[in-house]
Amino acid sequence: MATQAPARPGAEARTGAPAVRLEGVRRTYGEVVAIASLDLEIADGEFFTLLGPSGSGKTTTLRVIAGFERPDAGRVELAGVDVTGTPPSERDVNTVFQDYALFPHMTVQENVEYGLRVKGVSRRDRRLQAQEVLERVRLPGVGGRKPVQLSGGQRQRVALARAIVNSPTVLLLDEPLGALDLKLRQEMQVFLKALQRDLGITFVYVTHDQEEALTMSDRLAVFNEGRIEQLGTPADVYEHPETEFVAGFVGVSNVLERDGRRISIRPEKIHMRDDDGGAGEGGVVHDVVYVGMVTRYIVDLDAGGRLVVVRQNLETSSQEVLEARGKRVRLEWRPEHTYEIAKEGDGQ
């Protein structure tokens, strides 16, 4: 069995302390506020995602945790240890980037061994540990190849192997699947989540892909303009959006104004039938979007507003679906599936 690399300073403080704690962290670039007084705790062993559009502050937050950026104010803790002024090389974290950042002149084996070599691990032990971790990421037998000889998915798994061979307390992943095609990205999502469960390492994952965040995370934080708009489990954030921004950014959501209230209703929660004059709201199908397994209906309501409704194509042909344009319909939803939300900017 491979000899484990020695723990980094501060690793003994892991028990009982959050893997990551940010207190009052602020980071600006001139007049641009990238992070505005951020407080955040990430539990040991958690798969935690920072989700948001470009420029929302998620990547800057990751870089502050890694030590690549120094906060203008606030405190950064890893496993209960204040590392605010500690350089990246001395923090018990490793980072995986979208572009892999592999050394092209080194073999796969040498890339994976690199961090162990820097730490002074013996040649025999680092060879055994590298082989073991390559098997863990399902790449046995490729140690002698150069990165250029591998596919994009294989290179990403080599980057992961290099990052986890040191057994860091926290693994930071910055849009690691962004360069992969859709099918491979979906396969890697399943692989990454299974790997994280197997390793028990805290993963802090940055993405702008809502489906990716919902699929993989134990909890996620939705970022907007340097602040966290909402924090919770994927189900909580999806089913109970607290602001108009979250409702619109995480999945597809309808926002409707009724009786002075702004409510959010997910498209799949709405029942649509032919207009019989009964309960619910009447309207006209404005447009139809056929997307294979499901169809999206855009309905203009008589009382004002527009809703998107999603229905599965169980026994309906594409022709029948498209003929629904201009049809009068009745929409209903259960009260427990609507959530009152704040307007964007409220409470800021």
Q: Per-domain residue ranges for the chain?
A: 11-239, 271-332
Tokens of 229: 């708009």
pTM of this structure: 0.84
Angstrom CA distances, 253 to 158, 247, 257, 306, stand at 38, 6, 13, 11
- Could you tell me which CATH number the domain at 11-239 has? 3.40.50.300
Contacts with 300 (C-beta within 8 Å, 6 or more apart), sequence order: 283, 284, 286, 306
Half-sphere exposure of 215 (CA within 13 A, CB side): 16
Q: Give the pLDDT of the chain (348 residues) as one tens digit per residue.
A: 333 433 433 334 445 789 999 999 999 999 999 999 999 999 999 999 999 999 999 999 999 999 999 999 999 999 999 999 999 989 999 998 877 788 899 999 999 998 888 888 899 999 999 999 898 888 888 889 999 999 888 888 898 899 889 889 999 999 888 878 888 888 888 889 998 998 899 999 999 999 899 999 999 999 999 999 999 999 999 988 889 899 889 988 888 998 888 889 999 999 999 998 888 999 999 999 988 888 999 999 999 999 999 998 877 777 777 788 999 999 999 988 988 887 655 544
The answer regarding whether domain 271-332 maps to CATH 3.10.450 reads no
Angstrom CA distances, 239 to 163, 215, 288, stand at 34, 14, 24
